[in-house]
């Protein structure tokens, strides 16, 4: 089967610029919501969060350009062929993530969290960077790294088994679980940590459902799963 790619044309520089503008604007909106809910501008975790997210989005964007340029167009215009359950989970995930930022800001304003270890916030910064580094590695290693769960028959979908996929079957979800907890810790709010745990639970459920889908619908995945036995954490699950 021929692999379908997104066409390159004279508008490609505009597409790249649009991609980065959208990503940076989304970071700016979330940062504004956090600061607005916090009711102050001098909250260092919010500005650190903003800087970390800008670094993360930049790394992911350039990883796409360097290793998987065809996926940039798809990430800007996700196909509508995603599994119905995945559309529900993604919507729920986005709402929970947004709620996390609102809760973190309100927590600071009203003092719901009386004490939060500074060392844990610093670990959170490192965890955010580590999580997105693993995410970028997984994306660079998988030519079929779609935002949505679907079997990409239009692109000759095959099993990705290189890079971090040698160790676990869903390294990108493992990275995002690390990120969700780390970002919540950085914001210094136990309520944000609780919301982050909710995000992690959604990723675990998505992992299970996607893994089951790939077992049934993607040729070669069962054989790959026999070699790489764990989904998220080597030796655990």
**Strand spans (E) along the chain:** none
pLDDT for 95 equals 96
Q: With 70 as the cut, is the pLDDT of residue 8 above it?
A: no
pLDDT for 44 equals 96
Q: How confident is the model at residue 12 (pLDDT cuts 50, 70, 90)?
A: low
pTM above 0.75, yes or no: yes
| Rounded percentage of the chain residues whose pLDDT exceeds 90 | 65
pLDDT for 158 equals 86
Across the chain, how many H-helices and E-strands are there? 8, 0
Yes or no: say if 125 and 99 are a contact pair by the CB < 8 Å rule: no
Q: How confident is the model at residue 157 (pLDDT cuts 50, 70, 90)?
A: confident
170 vs 152: CA distance, rounded Å: 17
| Rounded percentage of the chain residues whose pLDDT exceeds 70 | 94
**Mean pLDDT across the chain:** 88
What tokens does 108 get? 């600071």
Q: Which of 100, 99, 202 is nearest to 149 (CA)?
A: 202
**CB neighbours of residue 91 within 10 Å:** 10
Least confident span in 69-73, 85-89, 219-223, 230-234: 69-73
Least confident span in 123-132, 142-151, 164-173: 142-151
For the stretch 106-140, pLDDT in tens is 999 999 998 899 999 999 999 999 998 999 899 88
For the stretch 62-86, pLDDT in tens is 888 887 777 777 777 767 777 889 9
99 vs 127: CA distance, rounded Å: 20
Between 101 and 114, where is the model more confident? 101
The residue ranges of every structural domain in the chain are 12-227
Q: How confident is the model at residue 54 (pLDDT cuts 50, 70, 90)?
A: very high
Q: With 70 as the cut, is the pLDDT of residue 22 above it?
A: yes
Q: Which of 20, 48, 45, 50 is nearest to 32 (CA)?
A: 50
**Mean pLDDT highest for which of 60-64, 212-216, 233-237?**
212-216
Q: How confident is the model at residue 105 (pLDDT cuts 50, 70, 90)?
A: very high
Asked if the 12-227 domain carries CATH number 1.10.10.10, the reply is no
First to last CA, the chain: 33
Q: With 60 as the cut, is the pLDDT of residue 20 above it?
A: yes
What tokens does 71 get? 């996926």
Burial class from Cβ neighbours inside 10 Å (0-12, 13-18, 19+) for residue 77 reads exposed
31 vs 224: CA distance, rounded Å: 41
Mean pLDDT, rounded, for 7-19: 66
CA-based radius of gyration for the chain: 19
pLDDT for 123 equals 97
């Amino acid at each position: 089967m021929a692999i379908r790619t997104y066409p390159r044309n004279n508008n490609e520089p505009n597409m790249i610029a649009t991609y980065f503008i959208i990503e940076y604007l989304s970071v700016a909106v979330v940062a504004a919501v956090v600061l607005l809910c916090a009711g102050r501008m001098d909250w260092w975790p919010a500005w650190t969060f903003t800087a970390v997210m800008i670094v993360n989005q930049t790394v992911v964007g350039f990883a796409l350009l360097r290793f998987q340029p065809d996926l940039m167009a798809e990430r800007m215009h996700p196909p509508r062929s995603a599994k119905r359950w995945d559309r529900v989970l993604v919507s729920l995930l986005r709402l929970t993530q947004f709620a996390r930022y609102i809760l973190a800001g309100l927590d600071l304003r009203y003092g719901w969290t009386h004490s939060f270890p500074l060392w844990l916030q610093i670990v959170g910064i490192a965890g955010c960077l580590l999580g997105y580094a693993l995410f970028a590695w997984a994306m660079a290693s998988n030519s079929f790294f779609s935002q949505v769960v679907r079997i990409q028959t239009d692109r000759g979908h095959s099993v990705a088994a290189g890079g971090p996929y040698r160790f676990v079957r869903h390294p990108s979800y493992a990275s995002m679980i690390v990120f969700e907890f780390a970002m919540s810790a950085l914001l210094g709010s136990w309520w944000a940590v609780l919301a982050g745990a909710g995000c992690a639970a959604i990723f675990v459920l998505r992992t299970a459902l996607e893994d089951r889908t790939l077992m049934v619908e993607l040729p070669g995945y069962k054989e790959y799963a026999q070699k790489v036995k764990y989904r998220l954490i080597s030796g655990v699950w």
